[in-house]
A = this chain, B = another copy of it.
Amino acid sequence: MSTLPNAPYHHGNLRQALLEAALRLLEQQGEAGLGLRDLARAVGVSPAAPYRHFDSRAALLEALAVTGFQRFTARMQAVMASAPDDPLAAMGKTYVVFALQNPNLFRLMFSPQLKKDARPGLRMAADAAFDTLRQAVGGTALDGRIRALAAWAKVHGLAVLLLDGQIAIRAGEDSEALVAEIIGSL
């Protein structure tokens, strides 16, 4: 069986190709600029093709947020495994770097518009990310949750303040070094 250059996408691959293209469009143009028609054009398929995988724009955004949480969790788990001495500091830095590298995806993952309680798949993906942090924090069932929420708040706040341009970086200051210092101080 030969694969021709213009062979139609296999269904499984088309979904993946659509998601990858959508992640690129999301960062390039922002969430507002991301529609199923733009996506079809970017991937080179018919305007109707994306609808075979995503019922609506909302379904596409949900799938992107789920993908974001899956990649984020995988990265967090890798960092946790590779920094056994101080996993929380390494994970904190990874959290902020992920946000700065994928600002629009990060905003989408934590968007109040994409209500997680009405989307079981998204809820599960977000819970898996929290569970990774919960595991790194340790502690008892009771205080572990509180400590994980506190650790999450710290790095989420730093990420949001940096993304929103609220922390005044001084002239000549290295913003990455500043992040490391703040994380170290958290």
Chain A residues with a Cβ under 8 A of chain B: 110-112, 115-117, 126, 143, 146-147, 149-150, 152-161, 163-168, 178, 181-182, 185-186
Contact = CB atoms under 8 A, between A and B. Distances in A.
A138 to B, nearest CB: 13
Instruction: Report the 3 A-B pairs with minimum CB-CB distance, sorted nearest first.
Output: A157-B157, A153-B157, A156-B157
| Interface of chain A: mostly helix, strand, loop or mixed | helix
A157 B99 CA distance: 13
B155 A112 contact: no
A112 B160 CA distance: 10
A146 to B, nearest CB: 5
Given A110-B164, A153-B157, A156-B161, 18 more contacts: A110-B166, A112-B163, A116-B166, A116-B168, A117-B168, A126-B166, A143-B185, A146-B178, A146-B185, A149-B182, A150-B182, A150-B185, A153-B154, A153-B182, A153-B186, A154-B186, A156-B157, A157-B160
Nearest to A181: B146
Nearest to A143: B185
22 contacts: A110-B164, A110-B166, A111-B164, A115-B165, A117-B168, A126-B166, A146-B178, A146-B185, A150-B158, A150-B182, A152-B157, A153-B154, A153-B155, A153-B157, A153-B158, A154-B154, A154-B157, A154-B186, A156-B157, A156-B160, A157-B158, A157-B160
A146 B182 contact: yes
A185 B147 contact: yes
Contacts of A126: 166
A164 B157 CA distance: 12
